[in-house]
Chain A
């Protein structure tokens, strides 16, 4: 989508920066603007992705659809429609929540392993900060790329869910930005955390003890009321619960303004926290 713009920018960009650097009054004195810089990082990812997207099709596009089929349609055939499913067929009840859940699961790899690899194995970030990009811009670019990936995954999933009859209301389109927001509320702190790691040992544990419970126990597959009370406050801390409330609320038209603002504020706060910490850790690790 942004392919054309970004590659055009690429053609002109090196000349401009070279011209700057060769000026006598100090190398690196003028850096690229923050947006342009972030887009350059995105372009780096896009260049790779354009050649290797096939490798991600299964995990980011096919997997959620298979989940929707197995849990929504297959398992849903066993569910009695009633109060517990808000009066909808199970697959309809599940679809908006699954949109949010897969957003968080999809961004898990990009926010941990991929970032770690860019620091440590490929040393991509080191290469980036040796150009006029700053460490913070590298972070913004990475987060922007993660958000774009999330949006693409969410849109494809929504399209297929509509085709399967799992989503009937047009307002479900608004669930896509909410899913992206939720994904980023996980991604930004995760990227910041990864920037502090010297070994990748803890990533599997994050998936097993954070992401998995977050997706299983936050009311996605069944209402929270089915779970013991002590779990509820734990669920409120997770971004997934807020995301599911938003996505399901907007899809079924039950979302009220004040709770919605609260959910959005919480998710934004998590993102802001991630960006602030990320800036610090990226600087610490990449500054020469």
Chain B
């Protein structure tokens, strides 16, 4: 679908930018432009989001079906395995298994969605569909591409997360009003992973490199305390896991949905803020280098 729609995209972009194009950055974005050279950013990333929307509107089934993957996991593991394991050691003492695993699946689906959207789709559009070559022929810069694509990942991830949280609420798996913050937290997590995924996608040579993405995502999904508490591991593995991103995401979600929120939550948030900043800057620079030279 991407391939066909890519030929159509520039047309919609152009119609979206009917006003005289201003290649200069808007005023009052000081810090951003100290990190990112101004010629790379035209403040028009919203047109790329519009493009993503138009493309995905025609492949709505793919978007829609992504919502069911964590849901199946939740039903199967949360309610099936709950018979084998009655309570697990959670943040505030023993908790029912379904309530333990649900926030972890929420965090994992935020990661999965963001990483796959950012790597697979970006790589396809970049390398095969040549979408970004077309985009750069319009008044958009590489930073617009990076910001636009990352935002689209967030919108998509946010829809999934919102639906999943609603299901959790329906099944009585949420114990605290702190869970209101779970959606923004999901978006932050997704942003961190999307940014790093985009940066990684710019280094990929062929489809074979996606097995490396798989190699990173799969162990994160399985070993970050998703299905069982970290205390199962010997000390040194615990120390390693505590450095990995999904662990922080899961801890954050679990704290928010169970209501045991401490100052440590800010540490988790900071982890993803740093991750997102590094990812966006690297991705924008790399895209600029690859597309403009």
Which A residues are closer than 8 A to B by beta carbons?
Answer: 52, 54-59, 62-63, 66-67, 69-71, 74-75, 77-80, 84-85, 90, 199, 201-202, 204-205, 208-209, 212-213, 216-217, 221-222, 226-227
Contacts and interface: CB of A to CB of B under 8 A. Distances in A.
A213 B212 CA distance: 26
Interface string B58-87: 010110011011001101110111011100
Given A75-B227, A208-B66, A59 B211 contact: yes
Contacts of A57: 211
Contacts of B229: 78
B208 interface: yes
20 contacts: A55-B208, A57-B211, A58-B211, A62-B215, A70-B223, A74-B232, A75-B85, A75-B228, A77-B232, A78-B85, A78-B232, A85-B84, A90-B84, A199-B1, A201-B62, A217-B75, A221-B81, A222-B80, A222-B84, A226-B79
Contacts of A70: 222-223, 226-227
Majority secondary structure, B binding face: helix
A59 B214 contact: yes
Given A216-B72, A217-B80, 15 more contacts: A54-B208, A56-B211, A58-B215, A59-B214, A63-B214, A66-B223, A67-B222, A74-B227, A78-B232, A79-B84, A217-B72, A221-B76, A222-B80, A222-B84, A226-B84
B227 A204 contact: no
B269 interface: no
B222 A212 contact: no
A98 to B, nearest CB: 13
B255 to A, nearest CB: 20
A65 to B, nearest CB: 10
Closest CB pairs A-B (n = 5):
A70-B222, A216-B76, A55-B208, A226-B83, A75-B227
A79 B85 contact: yes
Contacts of B72: 208, 212-213, 216-217
Interface residues of B, number: 35
Contacts of A63: 214, 218
A220 B211 CA distance: 26
Contacts of B68: 208-209
Nearest to A224: B80
Contacts of B59: 201
A226 B75 CA distance: 12
B65 A55 contact: no
Given A75-B227, A205-B62, A208-B69, A227 B80 contact: yes
Interface in B75-129: 75-77, 79-81, 83-85, 88
Contacts of B235: none
A204 B62 contact: yes
Contacts of B212: 58
A199 B59 CA distance: 12
B228 A74 contact: yes
A111 to B, nearest CB: 18
A199 B233 CA distance: 45
B76 A84 contact: no
A62 B219 CA distance: 10
Contact of B77 (A208, A209, A221): A221
Contacts of B84: 79-80, 84-85, 90, 222, 226
A233 B76 CA distance: 16
Contacts of A213: 72
